[in-house]
Structure 1
Amino acid sequence: MSEEATSYDASNIQVLEGWEAVRKRPGMYIGSTSERGLRQMVFEVADRAVNEVLDGRAASVDVTLTPDGGVCVADDGPGISTPLTEAGAATGSGTTIAFWPDADIFGAAEFSFDGLVERFRELAFLNQGLEISLTDLRRPDDSCSVRLRFPGGARDFVAFLDGHSAASAPMDTIAFEHEDPRMAGVMKVAFRWCSCPEKRVRSFANSRPTVDGTHAVGFRDGMRAAVIAYAREQGLLTATDPDFDADRISEGLTAVVSVKLDRPEFEGSTRGVLGNAEVRDCVGQAVQDHLGRWLKDDPERAAAVIDRIVQCARRD
């Protein structure tokens, strides 16, 4: 191969301006040009409206999938502060943003109503007081609509994740909210054990779902420390018995672990793993304190939980 064919210098660099850069590589901004990317576009637009509600400037968010393939996101806040144009009498205030996906980029991909509902349901669970409605008008003869609001917050989220298993739970849901200046943020945690063997633990950072991170590790640390300490105090573990491992303790556990931080630090560009080191100790200590107190205050149910863990450990 000749030197001329392999030469590369500043003259080969192409500078893209404004929206041209976004259209050239849309996956860099919304993850993909598939249905997943379409959903992300809705979430990015809806985040502004959601923040209006969380900041106390609005009461609700309404998202509509329109018959012409567009999306309309509206809130009842004070409105975006842009140059005013007289358009007639108004009956209220708010902001409405509408957009239509470009078929040249997304092809025939369509919004998944169920996928949007799942994410908006998470937001409503994680943010008490937030009300979101989603309406699908794309097929007039088969339109549908849901309104999502959960005053119980993370506690309601745990009940939802449990589904039909909730009736066989050996304990009430432990739920608490705690602000810790060491991590410059607030944690919301809810959990309980059920008789089914599956583990359902969901973690979030600033309302975004995470696959792992220091908040999730801290939760596991706190659970393990509280259970082991109680079991040894009550003689349910002898001096020669090994400590329970985290897998045994989490069998049958349903939990939601959510933190909101002023300065979140994520590992990787997908923001799926929280990296703030101080969060681990903060969450771990809070979970250990709350679970330890519950175990001591309700010895009958505590014994049922510990016995279940002991039996699981013996089977192994």
Structure 2
Amino acid sequence: MSKTSTESSYTARHLSVLEGLEAVRKRPGMYIGSTDSRGLMHCLWEIIDNAVDEALEGHGDAIEVVLHPDSSVEVRDNGRGIPVDNVTNLKLSGVEVVFTKLHAGGKFGGGSYASSGGLHGVGASVVNALSSRLEVQVDRGGTTYAMSFHRGEPGIFDDGTDVSPDSPFTPFTDHSELRKVGKVKRGVTGTRVRYWADSQIFPASAAFSYDELITRARQTSFLVPGLQLTVRDERRLPGTPGEDGPVEEVFRHDGGACDFVEFLAADSAVTDTWRLTGQGTFTETVQQLDSQGHLHPVDVERTCEVEVALRWGIGYETEVRSFVNIIATPKGGSHLSGFDQGLLKAVRKQIEANARRLKLTGKNGKERIEKDDVMAGLTAVVTVRLPEPQFEGQTKEVLGTAPVRGIVAKVVDTEISSLLTSSKRGEKAQAGMLLEKVVGEMRARIAARTHKEISRRKNALETSTLPAKLADCRSDDVERSELFIVEGDSALGTAKLARQSDFQALLPIRGKILNVQKASLADMLKNAECASIIQVIGAGSGRSFELDAVRYGKIVLMTDADVDGAHIRTLLLTLFFRYMRPLVEAGRVFAAVPPLHRVEMPAQGKRKGSITYTYSEAELSKVLRTLERSGRRYKEPIQRYKGLGEMDADQLAETTMDPAHRTLRKITMDDVEAAETVFDLLMGNDVAPRKDFIIAGANDLDRDRIDA
């Protein structure tokens, strides 16, 4: 073996090794989608997926991913290890074939993997071609074997003290060498791949995302029950969890897709998490290599296994994740189309069978359930496993195998129909609630369409069908206009006199509205106060809510400054949070801050009389102490407002409604998940956690602060 430089002249051997990989380096986007951080992460997924395939076949239960400080990444597994014996006809070891030959490896020929994630047989070789250095070690038969590659070409690196892609490299010319570098105990097997992404291909700004890696590891642990995935970051990059030192996270889940659904679902459940399974077969014509190395068409019978976990919640957001052999397909494909088709068919069939009970007769019976009605509140994980699936592109974002659609549709239709017609008490009750929810979503969609048609601003020649109790403003300028939702008719009279009618509209509500966290969608739509609020705002509700259609720039909740007022405000916020969340996220919902006390100071000497408003007991005490220290008198008794109706119009305008003097509290969505948890705790169906919360806080209660 003679020393040569990296730029050595090609021999026939060089050409045979690099003829395919040169195409990868010239057009990397064809294989990894892009050469930014997304492409860099895709290379990592290829190596991880090869390790996961071993676990899928039952040959390994642990994978470790390490992000090294020198920008390299290493993937370790305890699978069978890449074959080290020579491949027939090629006279190359299995290791070299996997890392230098496109469309070669255990994913071809049908003998090694029933289903796999790395199925095109190009993943490892593509990563190798796009790496300035790649090191692979394999434990098999009591021996550790090693091989090195430089931009896809096998050879030897002459490392000094540091392992680096810039170390002197000598490529193989006459023959390859799979080095024996150590020994391991009998029965110990596995593969370790470490590589440095090539700076000639990837820009300096491309970097491995720790968050994406954690998300993918967690996702894979759900999809392969019993597999333990460890992610370790040793880079100490600013702004990452490992900034102060190496950080490690371990994932393992034994419940499979059902655990995944429970993890993804954020809202309270309408149904249990249901697991649907089944399989089907189809015939596919494929090109196979014969003993002479020639391709010829063969009809092969394929088996497609289907597993779906799903549950419906009280919300209206939809979260559906789809996978093929544990590979995520974010843009769907034939399996997701089949899922949608089977689900819609099964639910429609049951709703038609229960039309009388669901009150879908007469005029309502003409409306047809649509896909969005069924999908509202659904969290689902759709997984199919089949040999050699056809993807649209190497990035595997869309499944293209057409027969899978019919198989998935049939399994989902059969299994869901069985659950919805079950005679078991629990499943029967859940089926009833689900059908009512779907019908409620249909009615909400129809109501939203109707509201949109009737809630446009009317000119002088038109008649308005908005609620009669709405005192609308005159301005058509949405940015400037404000809607005050006022507690009670008594406060409405004062507010009408206090408002600036040019841009301030008033909508009174009577008492405490429906708790929509407990109530169904249908009950919410039947509630007069909720329906009025949705109609006046004019943008629909739930999944049909359109922020651009909102008729007012600000929505202000104006309730009394007492316990009942706080309860009403909470109920209103629950309505906005569940059915008009984009309005809250846009920062357009506010709470008015009316005063609690009015302190009147008469004229004293040269001092003119004045009035001060306070908004809490603590503020009142502070004001009174200040007045006493300065020798200023004030009228007794101090006026304590029990409600908005006790104020006169000037006082209400000055303290609560006039933009020049008022205080508004903006309702924000800084932490949606935490907010949803609190809403569910305080307003949901489950009483026990709420009771525990009250008991836990009982000792903190100051009895003297109770306004009785």
Structure 2 residue corresponding to 1:153, chosen from 249, 256, 281:
256
1:95 matches 2:214: no
Deviations 1:234-278 (A, max 9, x none): 232437433311111111111111111224223456433323332
Change (3 A) 1:302 1:78: closer
The residue aligned with 2:436 is 307
The residue aligned with 1:238 is 361
TM-score (norm 2): 0.40
Aligned equivalents of 1:87, 1:40: Cα separation in 2: 30
The residue aligned with 1:185 is 304
Deviations 1:137-192 (A, max 9, x none): 11273322122222111111111111x32xx1111011133222246211110111
Bigger helix fraction: 1
Residue 86 of structure 1: CA displacement? Answer: 4.3
Aligned equivalents of 1:86, 1:274: Cα separation in 2: 41
The residue aligned with 1:220 is 340
1:120 matches 2:217: yes
1:176 matches 2:296: no
Aligned equivalents of 1:231, 1:195: Cα separation in 2: 19
Change (3 A) 1:89 1:213: closer
TM-score (norm 1): 0.86
Change (3 A) 1:177 1:149: farther
Structure 1 residue corresponding to 2:404, chosen from 270, 273, 279:
279
Deviations 1:30-88 (A, max 9, x none): 22221111111111112221112222222211110112111111111232232754434
Aligned equivalents of 1:66, 1:293: Cα separation in 2: 51
Aligned Cα root-mean-square deviation (Å): 2.2
Aligned equivalents of 2:405, 2:21: Cα separation in 1: 40
Residue 127 of structure 1: CA displacement? Answer: 2.1
The residue aligned with 1:13 is none
Aligned equivalents of 1:274, 1:252: Cα separation in 2: 25
Change (3 A) 1:81 1:146: same
1:129 matches 2:258: no
**2:31–2:394: 8 Å Cα contact kept in structure 1?**
no
> What secondary structure sits across from 1:103 in the alignment?
coil
The residue aligned with 2:323 is 204
The residue aligned with 1:74 is 76
Aligned equivalents of 1:21, 1:281: Cα separation in 2: 37
Aligned equivalents of 1:88, 1:274: Cα separation in 2: 42
Deviations 1:186-242 (A, max 9, x none): 111011111111011111223222212221121112212221222222232437433
**1:232–1:238: 8 Å Cα contact kept in structure 2?**
no
Aligned equivalents of 1:29, 1:231: Cα separation in 2: 46
1:104 matches 2:200: yes
Change (3 A) 1:215 1:97: same
Residue 22 of structure 1: CA displacement? Answer: 2.9
The residue aligned with 1:3 is none
> What secondary structure sits across from 1:266 in the alignment?
coil
Change (3 A) 1:220 1:89: closer
Higher relative contact order (CA 8 A, sep 6+): 1
The residue aligned with 1:288 is 413
Residue 135 of structure 1: CA displacement? Answer: 0.7
**2:345–2:413: 8 Å Cα contact kept in structure 1?**
yes
Deviations 1:112-152 (A, max 9, x none): 01111222222222222322211111127332212222211
Change (3 A) 1:42 1:296: same
Structure 1 spans left out of the alignment, 5+ residues: 1-15
Structure 2 letter corresponding to 1:199: T
Residue 292 of structure 1: CA displacement? Answer: 1.6
Structure 1 letter corresponding to 2:76: A
Seq. identity, %: 40
The residue aligned with 1:255 is 380
> What secondary structure sits across from 2:75 in the alignment?
strand
Change (3 A) 1:270 1:70: closer
**1:158–1:256: 8 Å Cα contact kept in structure 2?**
yes
**2:42–2:395: 8 Å Cα contact kept in structure 1?**
no
The residue aligned with 2:162 is none
Aligned equivalents of 1:89, 1:279: Cα separation in 2: 46
Aligned equivalents of 2:229, 2:349: Cα separation in 1: 42
> What secondary structure sits across from 1:189 in the alignment?
strand
Aligned equivalents of 1:54, 1:144: Cα separation in 2: 27
**1:124–1:130: 8 Å Cα contact kept in structure 2?**
yes
Aligned equivalents of 1:266, 1:86: Cα separation in 2: 38
**1:205–1:259: 8 Å Cα contact kept in structure 2?**
yes
**2:342–2:412: 8 Å Cα contact kept in structure 1?**
yes
> What secondary structure sits across from 1:223 in the alignment?
helix
Structure 2 spans left out of the alignment, 5+ residues: 1-17, 86-144, 146-178, 237-241, 283-301, 447-708
**1:184–1:263: 8 Å Cα contact kept in structure 2?**
no
Bigger mean CA offset, 237-246 vs 189-198: 237-246
Larger CA Rg, structure 1 vs 2: 2
> What secondary structure sits across from 1:142 in the alignment?
coil
Change (3 A) 1:87 1:273: closer
> What secondary structure sits across from 2:389 in the alignment?
coil
Structure 2 letter corresponding to 1:195: I
Aligned equivalents of 1:117, 1:150: Cα separation in 2: 14
Aligned equivalents of 2:335, 2:385: Cα separation in 1: 10
The residue aligned with 2:463 is none
Structure 2 letter corresponding to 1:90: V
Residue 20 of structure 1: CA displacement? Answer: 3.6
